[in-house]
Structure 1
Amino acid sequence: MIAINDLTFLIGSRALYEEANWHIKPGEKIGLIGANGTGKSTLLKIIVGEYAPSQGTISMSKDLKIGYLNQDLLSYDSHYSILHVAMEAFERQNQLHDEIEILLKKIETDYSEEILNKLSDKQQEFEALDGYSIEYRANEILAGLGFSTEDQHRPLNTFSGGWRMRVMLAKILLQQPDILLLDEPTNHMDLPSIKWLETYLNGFDGAIVIVSHDRYFLDKIVNRIVESRKGKLTIYSGNYTFYLEEKALRGEIQKGEFKNQQAKIKQEERLIERFRAKASKAKMAQSRMKALDKLERVDDVDDENPTVNFRFKFTKPSGRHVVRIEDAYKNYPTINILENADGVIEKGDKIALIGANGKGKSTLLRIIAGTETFKGMCETGHNVTTTFFAQHQLESLHLDNSILEELQSFAPKHSDTELRSILGCFLFTGDDVFKKIRVLSGGEKSRVALAKSLTTDSNFLILDEPTNHLDIQSVNILIQALKQFEGTFIAVSHDRYFLDHVANKIWFIEDHDINEYPGTYEEYEEWQSKREKAGETGGIKPAKVEKAKKEEPKKEFIENKNHQLKKLNQQLQQLEEEVAAKETIVKNIEAEIAKEETYSNPSKLKEVNERYALAKEKLGAMQLHWEELAEEIMILEG
């Protein structure tokens, strides 16, 4: 379908890609991943011909139809309705429609056979191209992406950038291309729209290449992962979870090969050093030196998942009640957000505020932060100190400051060592801290703003889309940091992996009221799925939730608690037995490696090392699963 052969792409003197190879086959669903700056978006632009490779070739059939969604489309502007813009995808059908209209006008005065035949031919072609259903298809896709019937008749230029991007995605999907190239398609999407897109892409017959930092989204769609790293493209046959497991296994094997090779190199170097001064052995030493120079070196494995040890400082812990909201009313000219709404945030709550766009998530955060006017009461508790992180704060960064200077001016109580340690947690190491803010990418600026937020003397954090612009590694770092935060926070995000790993309570706005589910995001999803199957919410706006009914999720959660605890404890006991058995296997292999008959035989050593790496990987996964089960049990028991 598309063949990339020996691709080299230079930016100045730096090779973004160097002799990279990749063949995209029909029907493949591919996740293109890698850290920020490794050239993922650039590679898509090379494929569609926007950039020319420095060396190598990109081959594809001439009639291949490519649908390409990229962030540059945010700037597209039009005074036409979004329905009209989406229907521009049907180029031939629209052309036929206009020609038929002209012929129908002519036939009012000209009854000639020529006109009648032309009209008949055009109508037959229009029908063959399913022209009579194109508006219905456009309606259907726009509705799936979150546009109401009224919205579809509004001009495109009245929508924000994120909504415009959805219109452009709808237009691309309606073109039914042979291959979709999607660069961060879930940016600016709410959770319902992301789930709709997952369903659509799973049913798409063509090939798909997705650049995304949403690991749950990738897991649901892709069957291949291509990693862009160090100028090369490495292929893994599976979804993102499989990629993590397979990469860890390959890393263990590579680490073993590196250690063995280093030991061999040191042994050779000692022999050369010993004999090079002796005339009778000089030729042999010279020969060994040449062989050593020609040796293809195995690279050591980089640690791409650093463990964060983040020390938060806040001088005063908050009181029990952090925020109390009573009888809150908030409305805009065209929409009501809150009516007689109540909510309480208690010390230690880690709240995920979720829901569709336009339901008032960001408005509620601003009410809690005290930056939004409303009717009612929102009271902050005793000793509560607040930090509010929102995307617009990226604009308040001082462009002429270095990264370190930006934090020094914001957190003067922290020493330079502490600040550099914090920046190290957010992947700014060594001389990176002296980079000017103005040269940073959007993702890097977001990391700086987050680092600033976490250096404050605050025991309550309000986080509005903190994962926007962050790559997967940076999201993992933020998760680790928030797990170590002993205060309270409320966060809005569309990254389900992030939500599932940081939240112990879910808030959602329904019927203009604040509703609460006392559990993790995964548990909330399961509960919400049951509600929809029972017909409580599916497609129909639910009736006003009375105050007493807000406790229903909690009641259901408590009723299932004992059953869940029993089930989890049984799983934990079984897992402990499996871990003990696997530890015995690992020890036996270690003993086997230590035997002379093993380490003196390279082929056998390689086979044993591979078994050892696989056993260690499985043991690590089992231990991680044990920790997750133990943590679930602690949450339920607490």
Structure 2
Amino acid sequence: MIIAQGHDLEKQFGANTLFKNVNFSIDSNARIGLIGPNGVGKTTLLKIMTGEEEATHGDLTINKNIDVGYIAQENDLIENKTIWDEMLSVFTPLINMGKKISDLQEEMSANPQKKDLLKQYDQLQYNFEQQGGYTYQADIKSILNGFNFPEATWSKNVGSLSGGEKTRLSFVKLLLRKPPLLLLDEPTNYLDLDTLDWLENYLKNYSGAILVVSHDQYFLDNLATQIFELQFGKLTVFKGNYSAYVAERQLRDRQQEEAYEKQQEKIKKDEEFIQKNIVRAKTTKRAQSRRKQLEKMERITPPKHKNKVRINFQSERPSGKEVLILRDLTIGYPTKTMVNNISLQINKGDRVAVIGQNGIGKSTLLKTVMKELKPKKGSIKYGASLDIGYYDQELQGLDPGKTVIDTVWDRHKTMPEKDVRSILASFLFTAKDIDKTVGQLSGGQKARLTLTVLSLEYNNFLLMDEPTNHLDLEAKEVLEQALQNYDGTLLFVSHDRYFINQLANKIVEIKNGIAQVYEGDYSYYLDEKSKQNIVSENESAANNTAAKVDENKNKLSYQEQKLRDSQKRKLQREVENTENKIDKLEKGQKDIQSQMADPAIATNFDKLGPLQEQLTEVQKQLDDANVAWEKALTDLENF
């Protein structure tokens, strides 16, 4: 069922048109990824859908009684409330209903003769149960824990939280509302890997429609079944997840490029023909006709997606084979230890990803390697001929008072101005942009400028702290490709799983003050974690079983019972589904037999023949269904 539609939507700001002729529809169970470069209007389109902004032209229709939930890049939390009370506020109507039920109970006790009170009480209690009156507190606890808010934090005031924590809490509050249409604007920002995994699983089972703006390709691959690409002022709809979208877009671009080149070749030949023949009496009419055809021709444009950031990293000299060796390294601050006893060897050409929850010590590790912080214990051995470059996630290496061009030029004074401008243009800085100060740039522009500076240093060992944070999808794709082709060594912190998956050949997971090294790529890391979880679950199940042997030797372990219950439910569903199938087939058989009994058909072989074929097929399906039903029923009875 379609719950929302946009028709010919257009948005203008003054003389500038952000987008126009935007058409789309959203089904009740949609999973849509809205993508496009920064500044094309993705957030504006979401705000039009919430009613926060109005379209300049066109119509947006959202079905009646559809609550639109929106999480933006800002939050709307009440600062002086505790985390728990702020989450409870979502259920104020339900809490009031519970109080009314209590009041009715007291009134019924005082007036047992009033039967209308009992009827009112039954209806109210039914509504309370149906709307989650007995489960909402469990829901709050579950989602708070999923978003890494342990019970010890629930009494904290919202105002005492960091910006990232407030963003996460705003998300929790929205999910508790469970709106039928969920609009998410960059929801994966500030979320660590564990929370991202939890969120993906939650959203996959969400009962409503989801439209999400995200630069997280891994997230879009796991969630989206449709991609809305907003770019160059228009919206294009693609079926499938992000990877399917990339493949389809590249195919379309290739086809458009081929059609463009073919048309250009034809135009060139026609123009040459016209030029040679327009002045000759015998051929002038043909040349004039060819010119008219050329003037009427609808010109194909080359693919616009080719206009991408161009990033290139290369080293000026090779490093030694051993790049970095950490032995029993403990890191942190004078009054706080973050991670203990890190042992890690990085060799030339390695791509090492450091992962873990926010605030656990990932950036501290990079700063220690960069000698911005002193090791608390242990040793750091640097390899021979190292030239180290550092990308800071806070982008603090830039002077906010300098212009864009001076930021580059001051570091490379001998570089000709045309080369500086060319380099900046390759990172998509326009002639207007390069005279802006760094303080006037957006987060994405600052990130691209930092990468510009880094690419000109020709380091053979790059340390990068969340390098994809402010980049749009196309810029991230180009950065991934550049780092894949980089001839040096890379140590990077990231929560971007797609980025990690594309690059890393070694994973360092920091958890509970300990660094665990996985000598493989991200898929290997996930496999190892899965094995560890299975072993842990099996050990836990074994321990539980052993503890219960004395109480009841015949009692099944929790894991076995859970498996048996799951198998039994599966068999019950199979029996039920097969019975429904048999009912439909028997009804179909009767309908066909009734038609064949009709005198007008019984004497007409042309009509009777196809019906007999249908009846034979239905009877075969019916026999197969009965065999399947008997088997499923027998299996269920023997369970």
Q: TM-score range by the shorter chain?
A: 0.7 to 0.9
Q: In the TM superposition, what is the alpha-carbon distance from 1:100 to its structure 2 partner? A: 5.8
Partner of 1:162: 164
The one-character-per-residue Cα deviations of 1:297-340 (angstroms, maximum 9, x if unpaired) are 2222235375957253446735735243435264798x863234
Q: Is the 8 A contact 1:323 1:368 kept in 2?
A: no
Partner of 2:444: 443
Q: Is the 8 A contact 2:314 2:460 kept in 1?
A: no
TM-score of the superposed pair, with normalisation by structure 1: 0.75
For 1:425 and 1:506, how far apart are their aligned partners in 2? 32
Of residues 62, 65, 68, the one that matches 2:64 is 62
For structure 2, the 5+ residue unaligned runs are 542-639
For 2:51 and 2:286, how far apart are their aligned partners in 1? 54
After TM superposition, the structure 1 stretch with the greater mean CA deviation from structure 2, 46-55 or 457-466, is 457-466
Of residues 29, 34, 37, the one that matches 2:36 is 34
Of residues 26, 50, 53, the one that matches 1:51 is 53
Partner of 1:8: 10
After TM superposition, the structure 1 stretch with the greater mean CA deviation from structure 2, 89-98 or 216-225, is 89-98
Which amino acid letter does the alignment assign opposite residue 472 of structure 1? L
Q: Is the 8 A contact 1:308 1:480 kept in 2?
A: no
Partner of 1:519: 520
Partner SS for 1:63: coil
For 2:128 and 2:295, how far apart are their aligned partners in 1? 69
How has the CA–CA distance of structure 1 residues 287 and 87 changed in structure 2, closer, same or farther, with 3 Å as cutoff? farther
How has the CA–CA distance of structure 1 residues 477 and 413 changed in structure 2, closer, same or farther, with 3 Å as cutoff? farther
Q: In the TM superposition, what is the alpha-carbon distance from 1:3 to its structure 2 partner? A: 1.3
Q: In the TM superposition, what is the alpha-carbon distance from 1:362 to its structure 2 partner? A: 2.1
For 1:38 and 1:71, how far apart are their aligned partners in 2? 16
Q: Is the 8 A contact 1:86 1:168 kept in 2?
A: no
Q: Is the 8 A contact 2:90 2:176 kept in 1?
A: yes
For 1:522 and 1:305, how far apart are their aligned partners in 2? 32
The one-character-per-residue Cα deviations of 1:335-359 (angstroms, maximum 9, x if unpaired) are 8632344334444432100122243
Q: Is the 8 A contact 1:368 1:378 kept in 2?
A: no
Q: In the TM superposition, what is the alpha-carbon distance from 1:186 to its structure 2 partner? A: 0.5
Partner of 2:467: 466
Of residues 208, 211, 214, the one that matches 1:206 is 208
After TM superposition, the structure 1 stretch with the greater mean CA deviation from structure 2, 204-213 or 371-380, is 371-380
Q: In the TM superposition, what is the alpha-carbon distance from 1:190 to its structure 2 partner? A: 0.6
Q: Is the 8 A contact 1:328 1:376 kept in 2?
A: yes
| Cα RMSD for the two superposed structures | 3.5
Partner of 2:96: 95
What percentage of aligned pairs have identical amino acids?
Answer: 34
How has the CA–CA distance of structure 1 residues 27 and 285 changed in structure 2, closer, same or farther, with 3 Å as cutoff? same
Q: Is the 8 A contact 1:313 1:455 kept in 2?
A: no
Q: Does 1:301 align with 2:307?
A: no
Partner of 1:490: 491
Q: Is the 8 A contact 1:225 1:240 kept in 2?
A: yes
Which amino acid letter does the alignment assign opposite residue 177 of structure 2? Q
TM-score of the superposed pair, with normalisation by structure 2: 0.75
Partner of 2:582: none
For 1:160 and 1:185, how far apart are their aligned partners in 2? 16
For structure 1, the 5+ residue unaligned runs are 541-638
Q: In the TM superposition, what is the alpha-carbon distance from 1:495 to its structure 2 partner? A: 1.1
For 1:214 and 1:311, how far apart are their aligned partners in 2? 23
The one-character-per-residue Cα deviations of 1:44-94 (angstroms, maximum 9, x if unpaired) are 111111221111111111311111111022x74412222222232224213
For 1:299 and 1:172, how far apart are their aligned partners in 2? 43
Q: In the TM superposition, what is the alpha-carbon distance from 1:467 to its structure 2 partner? A: 0.7
Which amino acid letter does the alignment assign opposite residue 198 of structure 2? W
Partner of 1:365: 366
After TM superposition, the structure 1 stretch with the greater mean CA deviation from structure 2, 430-439 or 188-197, is 430-439
Q: Is the 8 A contact 1:328 1:342 kept in 2?
A: no
Partner SS for 1:78: coil
For 2:272 and 2:92, how far apart are their aligned partners in 1? 73
Partner SS for 1:188: coil
Partner of 1:509: 510
Partner of 1:226: 228
Q: Does 1:241 align with 2:247?
A: no
Partner SS for 2:429: coil
Partner SS for 1:310: coil
Partner of 2:553: none
Which amino acid letter does the alignment assign opposite residue 372 of structure 1? L
Which amino acid letter does the alignment assign opposite residue 263 of structure 2? Q
Q: In the TM superposition, what is the alpha-carbon distance from 1:435 to its structure 2 partner? A: 4.3
Partner of 2:617: none
Matches within 5 A, 1:256-335: 256-270=258-272, 272-273=274-275, 289=291, 291-304=293-306, 310=312, 312-314=314-316, 317=319, 320-328=322-330, 330=332
Which amino acid letter does the alignment assign opposite residue 220 of structure 2? L
For 1:412 and 1:110, how far apart are their aligned partners in 2? 92
Q: Is the 8 A contact 1:331 1:338 kept in 2?
A: no
For 1:244 and 1:509, how far apart are their aligned partners in 2? 33
Partner of 2:609: none
Partner of 1:183: 185
After TM superposition, the structure 1 stretch with the greater mean CA deviation from structure 2, 485-494 or 95-104, is 95-104
Q: Does 1:500 align with 2:521?
A: no
Matches within 5 A, 1:137-148: 137-148=139-150
After TM superposition, the structure 1 stretch with the greater mean CA deviation from structure 2, 34-43 or 111-120, is 111-120
How has the CA–CA distance of structure 1 residues 481 and 536 changed in structure 2, closer, same or farther, with 3 Å as cutoff? farther
Q: In the TM superposition, what is the alpha-carbon distance from 1:217 to its structure 2 partner? A: 0.9
Q: In the TM superposition, what is the alpha-carbon distance from 1:496 to its structure 2 partner? A: 1.4
Partner of 2:556: none
